Structure 1
Amino acid sequence: MTNSFDSFQKRRLRSSYASVVISIALVLFMVGILGLVLLKSTKVANHFKQEVVMSLFFKDNVTKDQIETFRESLSEKEYTRLLYFISKEEAAKIYSKDLGEDFLEFLGTNPLKNGIDLYLNADFVTPEKMEELKTEFSKNAFIGDVSYDKPLVEQLTKNIRKISLWLLVLSGFFAGVSVILINSSIRLSIYAKRFNIKTMQMVGATKSFIRKPFIWQSIRLGFIGAFVALIGLGLMIYYIDKNIPALELIKDYISLIYLATGILVASFIISWISTYFATQRFLNLQTNDLYY
């Protein structure tokens, strides 16, 4: 009879552990997907920002040597990602191709200016910073005019901020749900051992001594669930990368490391906190209250 009861208790305990691991894995898998979306949304936003161009046009009296000196100094600036020098002759060819006819035949002279197309790093593509750069370049003795698509930059910044806000709200919601679900699963597993907790407490064991094995057990289960979630995410990322290679998910090692680290850290913190408060609750209960 005793062996049968012990066998039943072990099966119930294994079932409880399995449910905790599955719950943690499913929740962290969903959190991982959201984290991946957040990481890639930043990269996509930066990609669009870095495609914005600021055109600098030189004055007619600026020599080629002065232009080259200016170009070299500009290439060393922290805001510079790429820059291309476009001579007035090249600009004329581009305009003629766009118009479908040689406009120089009608004008007789080339009214265009030598210029540089400047592509900025994403952090500098904001209405405020681009306006500051425009003011700075306008004061330069070599520059005759500065232009960029101001409405595009303002709209791009506005949309990115709006999307980022909703993603943060969604992240907060999923984070809250994940904590609640994992906490519930861990509390259920500890609930099955509530009489053991009270027995240990009655024979003189301290609260920290009682909590310690439960916390380490939950952390181990949390890490197992996290590894299961990472395996699922790995398969999903491989599938997406195979079908949509333009996203370059697998090649983005830094984002993947951040994602994996975040999931492991989340599993540790949530498991530890949930187990601490769950055991604390049963430690504070009276013996008669354990039956309810």
Structure 2
Amino acid sequence: MSVKEKKFKKKKLGSYPFVSVIFSITLALFVIGLFGLLVILTDKLTQNIQENVEMQVFLNKDLSNNEVTKISKTLSSKDYVYVKNEIPQVTTITKQEAAKQFIEETGEDFVSFLGDNPLRDVVVLKIKPEFHLSENLAEIKKEIATIRGVYEVTYIENLVNSINENLAKISVVLIGFSLILFLVVAILINNTIKLALFSQRFLIRSMQLVGATSTFIQKPFLIRASLYGFISGVLAVAILGVLLYFANTKIEGLSELQSNDKLLILTGIILVLGTVVGFISTFAAIKKYLKLSLDELY
């Protein structure tokens, strides 16, 4: 008759169920990464909207081509004009071009009917986002109106004010929500690690009883927790990458709202956040167990 021996798995210092820990931390980091991705897309969309705020400068009818060109160059040199790829975003639309465009869109040749082109040459300039406050735009309008040859300066004031108000509201909401989300994620990761370490509390006490120092006890836990946090960050980034790739194939123009630099920064934040929060939560939990009495451990 054979004797069956029961084999008990020996607990190792610093080890605890890693699957549940990594799953929980990955889920938490994925949520904060998803919100970070939303912030990046919102920021890029906001930037695109702001870059397209235009001011139209209507010129006098009796100006020569050289005078029109001179006014255009003068406006291009202003510090409030938006510059893209080192090119000032200033466009001149002649009255002939404007008439041609109007005829193509409406199908009515008003020039032949009137015997003259009543339109004016227009210089359209895009304004830098930092000059979008109503006071700044009013000052710019006043300054341009003093340039010789300028007949009138216009921009859609109500639209600009509406954009500024909505952007301010969105910024407040995003900042508030990000702080709350960060706090929730930090608490979730902290509680997950505390629960995982709960099964190790008696092993920690045993190490204390045989004379192990606090540093010796903490070291394997901290290394493992940091590693789990980093792995969770990698998994969260991978899931986000797959989700973003799938979204780009389904939503037209979504890729244009993404910034590779900001996506790299978000990746770094997720990896660092997983590692740091895992380390700090483990350090706090072990420190707590090291101070508890035997009765309190039960």
TM-score bracket for this pair, using the shorter chain length: 0.7 to 0.9
SS at match of 1:5: coil
Kept after mapping to 2: 8 A contact 1:241/1:249: no
Q: Structure 2 unaligned runs (5+)?
A: 84-88
In structure 2, the CA distance between the partners of 1:203 and 1:70, relative to structure 1 (3 Å rule), is: farther
Distance in 1 between the 2:60 and 2:256 partners? 45
Would the aligned equivalents of 1:237 and 1:249 in 2 still touch at CA under 8 Å? no
User: What TM-score do you get using the length of structure 2 for normalisation?
Assistant: 0.85
Distance 1:250 1:242, change over 3 A: farther
Conserved in 2, the CA contact under 8 Å of 1:74 and 1:80?
Answer: no
Give the ranges of 4+ consecutive aligned residues of structure 1 lying more than 6 Å apart after TM superposition: none
Contact 2:15 2:224 in 1 (8 A): no
Stretch deviating more after TM superposition (16-25 or 160-169): 160-169
**Structure 1 residue 76, shift from structure 2 partner:** 4.6
> Which position in structure 1 is the counterpart of 2:32?
31
Decide whether the 8 Å contact of 2:225 with 2:282 is kept in 1: yes
Q: Give the letter aligned to residue 153 of structure 2.
A: V
| Secondary structure at the counterpart of residue 4 of structure 1 | coil
Q: Which moved more, 1:148-157 or 1:42-51?
A: 42-51
Shift of 1:134: 1.6
> Matched residues in 2 for 1:248 and 1:122: separation?
22
Q: Determine if the alignment matches structure 1 residue 148 to structure 2 residue 155.
A: yes
| Alpha-carbon separation, structure 1, partners of 2:266 and 2:292 | 39
Deviations 1:17-44 (A, max 9, x none): 1111111111111111111011001111
Output the CA distance in 2 between the equivalents of 1:139 and 1:249.
39
Contact 2:15 2:221 in 1 (8 A): no
Contact 2:44 2:257 in 1 (8 A): no
Q: Are residue 45 (structure 1) and residue 46 (structure 2) matched?
A: yes
Q: Which residue of 1 aligns with 2:86?
A: none
Task: Give CA-to-partner distance per residue, 1:78-132, whole Å, 9 cap, x none.
Answer: 5324221011222233344455433344554433322211123444434343233
Residue from 274, 280, 283 that aligns with 1:273 = 280
The reply on whether 1:232 has 2:213 as its aligned counterpart is: no
Contact in 2 for aligned 1:83/1:116 (Cα 8 Å): yes
Residue correspondences, number: 288
Rate the CA distance shift 1:285–1:68 in 2: closer, same or farther, 3 A: same
Of the structure 1 ranges 96-105 and 262-271, higher mean CA displacement relative to structure 2 is found in 96-105
* TM-score (norm: length of structure 1): 0.86
- The letter of the residue matching 2:244 is I
Number of the residue aligned with 1:6: 9
Structure number with higher helix proportion: 1
1:167 matched to 2:167: no
Change (3 A) 1:250 1:167: closer
**8 Å contact from structure 1 (residues 125, 153) kept in 2:** yes
Q: Which runs of 5+ in 1 are unaligned?
A: none
Q: Percent identity?
A: 33
Aligned residue for 2:206?
A: 199
- 2:185 paired residue number: 178
CA contact (8 A) 1:83 1:119 kept: yes
Question: Could you say what the CA RMSD is over the residues aligned between the two structures, in angstroms?
Answer: 2.7
Aligned-pair CA distance for 1:54:
0.9
